[in-house]
Amino acid sequence: MKLAIVGAGWAGMAAAVEAASRGMNVTVFEATRTLGGRARALPASLPDGTPVTLDNGQHILIGAYSETLALMRRVGIDPRKQLLALPLALPYPDGSGIRTPTWAARWPAPLDALAAIATARGWTWRDRLALVRMPLTWQRMGFTCPPAQSVADVCQGLPQRVMNELIEPLCVSALNVPAQEASGQVFLRVMRDALFGAGSHGFSASSLLLPSTDLSALFPQAAADWLARRHGERFSLRMATRVTALRAQGTQWVLRTDDREEVFDRVIWATAASPAAQAMAEAVDAPAALRAWAATTQGLSFTAITTVYTWGAGVRLAVPMIALREGPAQFVFDRGQLEPDNASVQGVLAFVVSASQGERDDLQAKVLVQAARELNLPALQAVQTVVEKRATFACLPGTQRPAACIAPGLWAAGDYVDGPYPATLEGAVRSGMQAAAGTSADPSVPT
């Protein structure tokens, strides 16, 4: 069976690994020269001209991301070596916030998280008790709620300080929209896995896993290398090759690139949502199913994420990740602590502005002011500011996400495709594996 995968991001490469393991002949088309899609390596230069490899955005994984961690191991990446594991913690510059105590770091979920809540610094006992009770309330609800409810709705009754210093940062980082607007259903699913999940590969479910290498090397490049070694006779990766047209031919699909047309038995479209919708809408003699899928996808709303990279000689944060209060950035990461053996990133900080609004230069200037005021780092210099204007779909209550199966033999993969998770790496990986499993079945019977 000949399978084409359009897009070599995390969803596309997850699909490629799964499909090749199921015996398919896999061809991956990638329009750029870098693997990873919206979670990829990014070349940059420090103010003195030193070349440095960063990312197009800072990502956090958690120990509950079972499929991503399993797939990394499958292609030869040891998560315990390539991810810095931190117990659940959201510390602020003044030392307040929640941190899992050392004596509770190895406790099973949810005891480790409850210990972090019970010992939160700067909170009253009323704050702590209210937050301890809330996950237990969610558990009694089965971690479900009516589709129209927001995160603010399902957190009703929590003190304002808890909302401001925990729920809002978690919500905006996971769902990329404020708690008043974000889907309560999706948030509860993430909380269920993070607080009450079993964890995987030696990590507690609530562990924060910070990449200690660039995002392309963390999985997509390792997957490509593994596929070339293990399935070289049935795997082809075509970089810098853009698929310009799609059309049905009986039960098969024809893809056109700049120089030729090729026929495939199955296709997985694993690009970002907007180009995927455009490709389906513009497919030659597009069947009604493709137009309907495109319309659903085009109905999604999107939000931006901005990452401001800065550098300062000798700069080092107290811990690898700190939560921020005074905006626009919600978090700052110390890349030097994430990659301690990489001299080029020492002194590099990554400020993340989720649900960002405004122009690049203005956001960059505001972050530098924030760093001086909130972190007492007035001498930071900007290295590079990355604005992903359509970084994630807006995970709003009642959002209708497009189905994984577009038409017989034609599937979609991406973090925006219908599934239990918001726009995360775990969501992308799960969708890729789902699409690969679906294409291996009879194309006339969508799975």
Q: Give the pLDDT confidence of 296-344 residue by residue, as tens digits.
A: 999 999 999 999 999 999 999 999 999 999 889 999 999 999 999 999 9
At 372-420, the pLDDT tens digits run 999 999 999 999 999 999 999 999 999 999 999 999 999 999 999 999 9
Helix ranges (DSSP H) in 197-236: 215-218, 220-231
Q: What is the CATH number of the domain that holds 313?
A: 3.90.660.10
3-state secondary structure of 266: strand
Reported as a single tens digit per residue, the pLDDT across 55-113 is 999 999 999 999 999 999 999 999 999 999 999 899 999 999 999 998 888 888 788 88
Q: pTM score, two decimals?
A: 0.94
Residue after which a domain boundary falls, among 185, 206, 227:
206
User: Domain check: are 314 and 371 in the same one?
Assistant: yes
Same domain, 292 and 310: no
CA distance 214 to 358: 27
CA geometry: angle at 190 spanning 187 and 131, to 5°? 70
- Tell me the residue range of the domain where 403 lies: 2-39+217-301+396-439
Instruction: State whether 129 and 191 are in the same domain.
Output: yes
In a domain, 276, yes or no: yes
- Is residue 49 in a domain? no
Whole-angstrom distance, CA of residue 207 vs CA of residue 106: 10
Burial class (CB in 10 A: 0-12, 13-18, 19+), 365: middle
Where do the DSSP E strands lie in 65-189?
83-86, 89-91, 97-99
Mean per-residue pLDDT over the chain, rounded: 94
Using one digit for the tens of pLDDT, what is the confidence trace for 227-285?
999 999 999 999 999 999 999 999 999 999 987 999 999 999 999 999 999 999 999 88
Same domain, 176 and 135: yes
Q: What is the pLDDT of residues 171-218, one digit of tens each?
A: 998 899 999 999 999 999 999 998 888 777 889 888 999 999 999 999
Residues 192 and 337 in one domain: no
CATH of the domain at 254: 3.50.50.60
Contact in structure between 53 and 44 (CB atoms under 8 Å): yes
Quick one: 21 and 96 in the same domain? no
Do 228 and 192 share a structural domain?
Answer: no
Q: What is the total count of domains within the chain?
A: 3
Check whether 286 has a pLDDT greater than 90.
Answer: no
Is residue 288 domain-shared with residue 415, that is, in the same domain? yes
H-helix or E-strand spanning residue 305: strand 302-311
Residue 146 lies in a domain: yes
Does the pLDDT of residue 445 top 70, yes or no?
A: no
Torsion sign (Cα): 159, 160, 161, 164: positive
Q: How far is CA 186 from CA 60, 143, 165, 418, 422, in A?
A: 17, 9, 20, 11, 7
Q: Which residues pair with residue 36 across a beta bridge?
A: 9
Q: What is the CA 333 to chain-centroid distance, rounded? A: 16
> Is residue 415, in this structure, part of any structural domain at all?
yes
Domain boundary among 206, 241, 266: 206
Same domain for 195 and 173? yes
Evaluate whether residue 160 is within a structural domain.
yes
Q: Examine the fold and report which residue of 374, 393, 412 is the final residue of a domain before the chain moves on.
A: 393
Q: Are residues 295 and 410 in the same domain?
A: yes
Residue 69 lies in a domain: no
In sequence order, what are the beta bridge partners of 412?
Answer: 269
Q: Is position 194 within any domain? A: yes
Same-domain pairing of 105 and 239: no
Provide the phi-psi class of 436: left if phi over 0, else alpha when psi is between -120 and 50, else beta: alpha
pLDDT at residue number 443: 52
CB atoms within 10 A of CB 437: 16
Domain co-membership, 366 together with 408: no
User: Could you tell me if residue 79 is inside a domain?
Assistant: no
